[in-house]
Each structure stands twice: as C-alpha cells, then as structure tokens.
C-alpha cells in the first residue's frame, strides 16, 4: 500500500507502471481497456496516484483527493517551481512544458505517459532522460520543474514551505495569491484589526495594524480587507455587518441577524477557525478569540462547497449572485493560510459567488470565506501593497509572523587539561628532581630531568603548598615521553590551571 501523499512514493508507484502493459490515450487516468492495458495520458498518470489508484473493473475515482486538472493547470497551481536549468535533485518533482508533464525520479530521468516514440518504443508509460543528450530516449523539451501542490516532499519536514506571493490567470482574470504559515523559521499569529463601532470607525487599510503584536516583534506577512460594514442612519455610527472582535476586544457580539452566515475567527494562539457566526460568536463570548468577523458568505468548509449567508438577505444575495471583485481568505489541507484577491467591478466584472468554490478547489483550499470585495479590496504581502483601495474600511485581517528564537546552545565541555605548558619565556615546561622555590624561568633544582615540548600534557599528582607572588607554585608531576619511560619530578604550575584550593603554611 502506498502513501498517496508522498512524492517519494509517487516515484516508486510510477516505476511499477513501467512493468505493466500501458498505452497512451488523451484523458486516460489509469483505467484498463479491453486488452487489459492501463490507459494514461501525461497528467492522468499523476492523478491516478493522487486519487489512490484503483484496480481492474473499478470505474470510479477511489478516494479522490486532488482536483481534476490538466498539465498546465498543475503547473499554474504550484507555488514552488522554476526553470528546468535550476531543478533540484529531488525525486518526485514534476517536469513540465506547455501541454505536457512528467515525473522526475532523479539523475535526469523522467517517467512519463507520452504519445512520443523513440523508434519502436513509446506511446505508453516510458522512462526518458533530459540531461544526457546521448541517451537513447532523450527528451530535451522540458522547460520548467515544479513541486506537485498535492504531495509532501521529504525535505519539507525540515525545510517547510516558504511563504510566497504569486499572480496567475484564472478565468481570464489575473488573481493575486499570498500563501503563508508553514515556514519553520517563523511563528504565525492571525488577528482582526480596526476600530470599534462609532462615527470614526473606518480608516484606510494602509493605516491599520495591531500595535501590541508589532511592539512584540511581529511583522505583517499577509494583510487583507475584512468584512462588510455599514453606517447606521440613526446615529451615524459605522458598524460591522455581523460580529466583530478586534485585537482581543469583543466590540460587537449582539447582532444575531447573521448567526447562520459564515464567519472567521482567530484564537489567541493565532490559529484560524471558520464556521457559522453563531459558532464563532460563542467562542468570542467565552474569551477564546483574539479576532473575529462575519464574512459576506462561505465558500468551502471541511473540503465541501459551503455558501452560508449567500441568500440571507437582498444585499448578500446581490453580492453573491453578481460578478464582483473578491477577497477570499482560507486554509489549505496542509494548514497553510491563503489570501486571494480577484479583480473586478461590482455588477460588471470579476467572479460570481457560485464560481468561488471552483476557485477554492483550484487553489487547494479546504476552508474559505468571501469577505468584502469590489472597491474595498486590499492585499499586501510582507509590507508590499499588491492591491490598494482608496476606500476606508471597518476592519482588516492580518497574518503576522515572527522569527523563532534561536535556541541557546548547550555549553561546551571543559576540555582544558589539568596543566598546559608554559607559553611564556622559552615555551617549555621543565621537570626537575627537587622542588625548592625558583624565580620564573630560573630552575633552582639540582638536575633537570626533562624538558616538555609545548603542546604536550603533564599530569599533576599533587600540589605543593605555597603559591608564589607571580602566580606560580610547585607541583609533583609525571610525564610520559613518546617511546620512553614515565618521568616523575617537580615542576611549576600556572595558578590559572590549579583546581586545588590551597591553605598557606
């Protein structure tokens, strides 16, 4: 049984397909034809693995967990990718050229389902080579490499997934995507920021931040506009359309009209939670949330299409049904936070609410909500504004990050020997047969038994009483020259290396 989330296991599974009878056919995803051959096209080889494979006679997608996308969409979906000349030596990467994709297994080798033939070989699942031009099955047309966005790579356990910002064309629109939350060098904390309800409760997104977090060293990673808001005609106060918790302060929890609508919150630990307003409000009332806001409507929940709030009232129905620019925030299956900005003008261009679940699938989101959009759209990534608005808003959502503290290394063990040779004067340690007092470098014993070269170690057998004014005192020592008998005698010892607390006689 394979681990269908592992890039390394994809390589093993693909090698197994080389040993089977296969045929290339556009749209093939591994089912068997009447001759018992497995039918694949290029991306179908990969999708068959992602969909947990299946046996002969099984015509359904077994445990389908990844979207049904083509080769170019697979490349577009990837966040880690680059020119083929920069490909890392990581088995399980994918290689791509326009309209075609394959599985890199290392050393320039690719397993691919292809219509191409090399003489009599081809038209099936083959192993080709793109680095060695002299190889019999050389293909030199790959242009890019990518990490499959639906697989985990072994080095990810240590390297994590870096925060990123990209743009891509979707349904003819250039959408902006910020992904964050899995870089192992950082810790992350999400929050909702803004001003409590009142006559001056709106402000430009550029001026919105969380001063407490920033004072503690947190920096904005992803920053987007928040929920729908309105001006109360009776008193001129700006209100959130639903609930609102700002930087740990529950400023607006009394609005029950939108309890069945979608909402988003952040625990004090910074983790995101998506649910109905009633569910998020209960957590906020219990003091568990640092931030919360009611969304325009839901997009995905627990991997399923979710449109809570889309037809709640005429305003939300209009927002949902008509094209508009969109702000989406959600979470991928691996826990990564994702912010998306879709361009458009309300009622004229952009995406309808009913198109957003497909976009969420395209981006790999398992939970997501749609926030305020149109002219309120704002997105910045690591301090760089990507989508700006001149409109004042009621609240914003910010994902902060902070470098993890560097662990204090364990203290190095004390490897200093009992005595090190005298580095002053002649750089030698002298051992004599007697131990009367001497002045530095003037031996007072009757006979020099040995001169110990610098760098050699002598063993202290006993310290003699009476430390001298220059910090030296006598010791009874032994020394074993290489290839000779051990020498025992007297020598002076620097006080820095004495481990014995002497008493003066």
Q: Among candidates 313, 310, 398, 299, which has minimal Cα distance to 356?
A: 299
Q: Among positive and negative, which fits the CA dihedral 82, 83, 88, 92?
A: positive
pTM of the model: 0.55
pLDDT of residue 503: 35
SS3 at position 480: coil
8 A C-beta contact, residue 100 and residue 65 = no
Q: 10 Å Cβ neighbour count for 347?
A: 13
8 A C-beta contact, residue 369 and residue 329 = yes
Tell me, rounded to whole angstroms, the distance of Cα 257 from its chain centroid: 38
* In 364-448, alpha helices (H): none
Segments of the chain scoring below 50 in pLDDT: 55-63, 156-159, 416-428, 435-444, 469-470, 495-505
DSSP character for 409? P
Q: Among candidates 290, 305, 314, which has minimal Cα distance to 370?
A: 305
Cα separation, 430 vs 421, in Å, equals 9
Cα separation, 266 vs 238, in Å, equals 23
């Amino acid at each position: 049984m394979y681990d269908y989330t592992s890039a390394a296991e994809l390589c093993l599974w693909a090698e197994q397909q080389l040993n089977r009878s296969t045929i290339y056919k556009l749209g093939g995803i591994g089912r068997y034809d009447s001759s018992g051959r497995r039918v694949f096209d290029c991306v179908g080889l990969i999708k068959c693995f992602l969909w947990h494979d299946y046996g002969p006679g099984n015509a359904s997608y077994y445990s389908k967990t990844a979207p049904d996308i083509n080769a170019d969409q697979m490349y577009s979906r990837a966040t880690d990718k680059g020119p083929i000349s920069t490909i890392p030596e990581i088995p399980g990467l994918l290689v791509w050229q326009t309209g075609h994709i394959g599985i890199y297994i290392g050393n320039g080798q690719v397993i691919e389902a292809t219509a191409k033939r090399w003489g009599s070989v081809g038209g099936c699942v083959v192993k080709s080579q793109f680095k060695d031009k002299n190889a019999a099955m050389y293909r030199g047309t790959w242009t890019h490499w990518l990490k499959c966005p639906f697989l985990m790579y072994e080095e990810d356990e240590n390297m994590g997934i870096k925060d990123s910002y990209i743009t891509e064309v979707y349904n003819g629109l250039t959408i902006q995507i910020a992904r964050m939350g899995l870089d192992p060098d950082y810790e992350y904390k999400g929050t909702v920021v803004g001003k409590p309800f009142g006559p001056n409760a709106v402000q430009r997104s550029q001026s919105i931040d969380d001063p407490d977090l920033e004072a503690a060293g947190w920096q904005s990673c992803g920053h987007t506009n928040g929920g729908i808001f309105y001006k109360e005609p009776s008193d001129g106060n700006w209100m959130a359309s639903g609930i609102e918790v700002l930087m740990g302060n529950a400023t607006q929890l009394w609005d029950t009209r939108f309890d069945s609508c979608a909402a988003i919150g952040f625990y004090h630990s910074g983790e995101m939670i998506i649910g109905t307003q009633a569910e998020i409000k209960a957590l906020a009332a219990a003091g568990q949330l640092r931030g919360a806001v009611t969304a325009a409507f839901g997009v995905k929940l627990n991997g399923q299409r979710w449109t809570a709030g889309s037809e709640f009232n005429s305003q939300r129905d209009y927002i949902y049904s008509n094209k508009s620019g969109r702000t989406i925030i959600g979470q991928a299956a691996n826990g990564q936070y994702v912010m998306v900005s879709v361009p458009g003008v309300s009622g004229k261009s952009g995406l309808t609410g009913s198109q957003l679940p497909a976009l969420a699938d395209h981006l790999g989101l398992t939970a997501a909500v749609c926030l305020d959009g149109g002219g309120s759209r704002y997105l910045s990534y690591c301090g760089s504004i990507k989508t700006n608005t001149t409109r004042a808003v009621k609240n914003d959502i910010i994902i902060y990050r902070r470098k993890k503290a560097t662990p204090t290394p364990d203290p190095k063990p004390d490897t200093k020997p009992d005595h090190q040779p005298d580095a002053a004067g002649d750089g030698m340690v002298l051992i004599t047969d007697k131990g009367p007092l001497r002045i530095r470098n003037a031996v007072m014993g009757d006979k020099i038994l040995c001169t110990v070269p610098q760098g050699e170690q002598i063993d202290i057998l006993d310290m003699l009483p009476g430390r001298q004014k220059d910090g030296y005192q006598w010791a009874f020592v032994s020394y074993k020259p290489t290839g000779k008998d051990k020498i025992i005698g007297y020598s002076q010892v620097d006080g820095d290396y004495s481990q014995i607390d002497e008493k003066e006689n």
